[in-house]
Structure 1
Amino acid sequence: MKRTWRWFGPKDSVSIDAMLQAGVQGVVSALHHVPTGTVWSCEEISRRKKEIATRPSGEPSGLEWEIVESLPVSEDIKRQTGAWRDHIAAWEQSLHNLHAAGIRVICYNFMPVLDWTRTDLAYRLPGGATCMRFDLSVFATFDIHILGRAGASDDYAPQVVAAANRHFTEMTDADIQALVRNIVFGLPGAAENFSLEDLRYHLAAYDGLGEDGLRANLIDFLTEVAPLAQQLDMRLCCHPDDPPTPLLGLPRIMSTQSDYTRILDEVDLMSNGVTLCSGSLGARPDNDLPAMMDHLGDRVHFLHLRNVKREGPGPRCSFHEAAHLEGDTDMVALIAAVLRQEAKRRAQGREDMSIPFRPDHGQDILDDLERNAQPGYPSIGRLKGLAELRGIIAALSHPDLGTAL
């Protein structure tokens, strides 16, 4: 399992030196400043590679840009509207340019409008650490009372609607503004300038599409780009929905094992693969992560290892980001399944026998609490998670364990 670390570029408060000290072996990054639907130029890709390869002192870092997360798929592509064909052509040209730079693994998602959703970006835990949290009743408050989406109350259980009503009566204007900022933070680059009217516009653009329509559009997209990726020996890996349940009346199509199996079978190429995110998928109790790894493993090209603690029953509930070994996913069993898959790949002589992973998200602890890093991406919290994951890998890989795998 290859240790990687997400880096948001020169503005990231976590430095290249910090990554080296954390013991990572490769970097996950993206060109967040390039507008969605346009080509990632060779010049911009080379600039990011150089930034990763150079320490603040000017010395070589020894690190390389290993994985793209994410090469964004435009809303036009997801809906097949507007300039969607031009956007696919730009996506394909970006693949060519990334291939020329030696980058082979491309993570992307097909979530409509919001890439991820939380109601609190700094939820305080009893021990003083903070983490991201999704509170279903607070989200319902936003949906029903602040956004005012038509028919929103019909999408929630009566007790959730009642809790949302009570919560709204207690909110100040400052509370409302903070909640709106937290929710739109899931739109890359939108936290400072995305309005409720903008969100309403994007939601309206999906009226009538539904799950079947969105799934058909994903299959059409992959039918176009996956053969090119196969030709270039590149691996595309779709990130699951986060949370893995319907939101704001939008369709969600990558939330369960059956969702993934359907897409992998429809476009049956090794280049069409999975980003197995144990946090996103683990927010549903009906997702068995070790079993998913066993079932989908030969097409898992990238791993996000994090944990969440569910706060209620059923697939649609509140949850918060737990420490990596303290949530509802059995991380030891999941890593054992990953190591079994790697053993199969070694026996098959696969080039990708070592599956890259990153410690996804982390709680803000110790000095993180004063550093104001990207939500979910503190230095010490992720370092703690990476250390815990490395300990599991080392233990399960030890020859004295014999038949443990």
Structure 2
Amino acid sequence: MERTWRWFGPSDRVTLADVAQAGATGIVTALHHVPTGAVWSPDDIELRQNQVATLPDGKPSNLEWSVVESLPVSEDIKKQRGDWRQHIANYRESLRNLAAAGIEVICYNFMPVLDWTRTDLAWRLPNGATCMRFDLIDFVAFDLHILKRERAGEDYEEELRAQAARRFSEMSAEAAETLAGNVVFGLPGAAERFTLEDVREHLAEYAGMREEALRGHLVDFLSEVVPLAQELGLRMCCHPDDPPFPLLGLPRIMSTEAHYKAVMDAVDVPANGITLCSGSLGARPDNDLPGMMDRLGDRVHFLHLRNVKRETANVRGSFYEAEHLGGDTDMVALVEAALREEARRKAAGRRDQSIPFRPDHGQDILDDLGRRAQPGYPSIGRLKGLAELRGIIAALEPRIAAR
């Protein structure tokens, strides 16, 4: 399994020197400054590759740009409005430029409006560490009383609405503003930042869109780009919804194994693949992560290994980012399933025998608490996670190889 690390570019407070010392060999990054829908130029791609290859002191990093995360899909494409056809043409051109640069794995998502959603970006744990958290009551309070989405109350049962009303009544103006900022924070490092009015406008344009329609738009997009990716030797992999249940009245189409199977079957090409994120999918109690890896593993092109602790047994509920081995997902079983898939690929002679993975998210501990890196992407917290995952791999690999 290829050890990778997400890096947000030269402004990232976790430096490439930190990454190299943590034990990663590949970098997961993107051209965050390029507006969504625009072409990634060969010059910009080459510049980022050179940056990845060089430590802050000018010496070689011995790292390479292994995975793109993300080559973003525009809202126009998701809605099939406005400039969506031109954006698909631009996406295809970006794929050609990435292939020419030797980068083969392209992660993206198809979540409407917000790329991920949390209500707290630095929730304090009993031991003094902090982590990201999704509090369902806070989110409902945001939806009903801050965003004031039309007909939002129909999405929540009476008791949940009452709890949210009490919670909001106890919030200061500053706390309400912080909650709103956390919810619309979006993808760290992205060129765009949404305001509440931006969110309202996008929601209005998605009004009435059903799951089937959004899935159809995803299949249309993949039908245009995946054959080209296959021709170029690229592997595209869709990240799951985060959280993996409906929010803000928007459809969710990549939250379960059945969702993924439907899209893999609709565009049945090896280049059409999966980013299996154990944290996003693990926020639902009905998702069997080791089983998904066993059943869908031949199309898993990228792994996000992180853990969450669910606070209820409901499909839609609160959760927080746990230690990599401390949440509700059996990480040992999941890694074992991934190693079995790698063994199958080796036996079949596949080029992509080694599946890239990254220690996703992590808790802010020790010096992380003063570093203030991108929310969810601490230095030491991820180093700890990578060390734990490497330990699992080292223990299991010989046994699987001997079978």
Given the two structures, how large is their TM-score scaled by the length of structure 1? 0.98
Provide the secondary structure at the position in 2 that maps to 1:302: strand
> How far apart are the structure 2 equivalents of 1:197 and 1:227?
37
Contact kept in structure 1, 2:359 and 2:382, CA below 8 Å: yes
Provide the secondary structure at the position in 2 that maps to 1:200: helix
The answer for unaligned runs of 5 or more in structure 1 is none
User: Which letter does structure 2 place at the counterpart of 1:16?
Assistant: L
Provide the secondary structure at the position in 2 that maps to 1:398: helix
The answer for unaligned runs of 5 or more in structure 2 is none
Equivalent residue, structure 2, for 1:236 = 236
Q: CA deviation at 1:150?
A: 1.4
Equivalent residue, structure 2, for 1:71 = 71
Q: CA deviation at 1:152?
A: 1.0
> How far apart are the structure 2 equivalents of 1:146 and 1:392?
44
Equivalent residue, structure 2, for 1:115 = 115
Q: Deviations over 1:318-376 (max 9, x none)?
A: 00000000000000000010011001000000010110000000100000000000000
Q: Deviations over 1:70-108 (max 9, x none)?
A: 000000000000000000000000000001100000000
User: Which letter does structure 1 place at the counterpart of 2:126?
Assistant: P
Provide the secondary structure at the position in 2 that maps to 1:326: coil
Q: Deviations over 1:138-175 (max 9, x none)?
A: 00000011111112122123222111010011011101
> How far apart are the structure 2 equivalents of 1:191 and 1:314?
35
Aligned pairs (5 A) from 1:176-255: 176-187=176-187, 194-255=194-255
Equivalent residue, structure 1, for 2:397 = 397
Q: CA deviation at 1:137?
A: 0.6
Aligned pairs (5 A) from 1:165-184: 165-184=165-184
Contact kept in structure 1, 2:71 and 2:106, CA below 8 Å: yes
> How far apart are the structure 1 equivalents of 2:132 and 2:150?
28
Residue 284 of structure 2 is aligned to residue 293 of structure 1: no
Aligned pairs (5 A) from 1:45-194: 45-187=45-187, 194=194
Equivalent residue, structure 2, for 1:267 = 267
Provide the secondary structure at the position in 2 that maps to 1:301: strand
> How far apart are the structure 2 equivalents of 1:209 and 1:39?
28
Contact kept in structure 2, 1:185 and 1:191, CA below 8 Å: no
Provide the secondary structure at the position in 2 that maps to 1:65: strand
Given the two structures, how large is their TM-score scaled by the length of structure 2? 0.98
Q: CA deviation at 1:24?
A: 0.5
User: Which letter does structure 1 place at the counterpart of 2:271?
Assistant: S
Equivalent residue, structure 2, for 1:7 = 7
Contact kept in structure 1, 2:33 and 2:190, CA below 8 Å: no
User: Which letter does structure 2 place at the counterpart of 1:343?
Assistant: A
> How far apart are the structure 1 equivalents of 2:75 and 2:119?
23
Equivalent residue, structure 2, for 1:333 = 333
Equivalent residue, structure 2, for 1:318 = 318
Contact kept in structure 1, 2:124 and 2:131, CA below 8 Å: yes
Q: Alignment length, in residue pairs?
A: 403
Equivalent residue, structure 1, for 2:256 = 256
Provide the secondary structure at the position in 1 that maps to 2:370: helix
Residue 291 of structure 2 is aligned to residue 302 of structure 1: no
Q: CA deviation at 1:194?
A: 3.0
> How far apart are the structure 2 equivalents of 1:190 and 1:74?
12
Contact kept in structure 2, 1:273 and 1:300, CA below 8 Å: yes
> How far apart are the structure 2 equivalents of 1:306 and 1:65?
21
Equivalent residue, structure 1, for 2:24 = 24
> How far apart are the structure 2 equivalents of 1:189 and 1:144?
28
> How far apart are the structure 1 equivalents of 2:242 and 2:274?
14
Q: CA deviation at 1:401?
A: 9.2
Provide the secondary structure at the position in 1 that maps to 2:316: coil
Residues 115/60 of structure 1: CA separation in 2 closer, same or farther (3 Å cut): same
User: Which letter does structure 2 place at the counterpart of 1:294?
Assistant: D
Residues 199/400 of structure 1: CA separation in 2 closer, same or farther (3 Å cut): closer
> How far apart are the structure 2 equivalents of 1:133 and 1:324?
15
Equivalent residue, structure 2, for 1:377 = 377
Q: CA deviation at 1:129?
A: 0.5
Residues 224/400 of structure 1: CA separation in 2 closer, same or farther (3 Å cut): closer
Contact kept in structure 2, 1:65 and 1:103, CA below 8 Å: yes
> How far apart are the structure 2 equivalents of 1:171 and 1:28?
38
> How far apart are the structure 2 equivalents of 1:179 and 1:67?
32
> How far apart are the structure 2 equivalents of 1:400 and 1:287?
25
Residues 55/266 of structure 1: CA separation in 2 closer, same or farther (3 Å cut): same
User: Which letter does structure 2 place at the counterpart of 1:383?
Assistant: L
Residues 187/389 of structure 1: CA separation in 2 closer, same or farther (3 Å cut): closer
User: Which letter does structure 1 place at the counterpart of 2:387?
Assistant: A
User: Which letter does structure 2 place at the counterpart of 1:292?
Assistant: M
User: Which letter does structure 1 place at the counterpart of 2:149?
Assistant: R
The farther-off stretch of 394-403 and 152-161 is 394-403
Moved over 4 A (4+): 187-193, 399-403
The farther-off stretch of 391-400 and 34-43 is 391-400
Q: CA deviation at 1:189?
A: 5.7
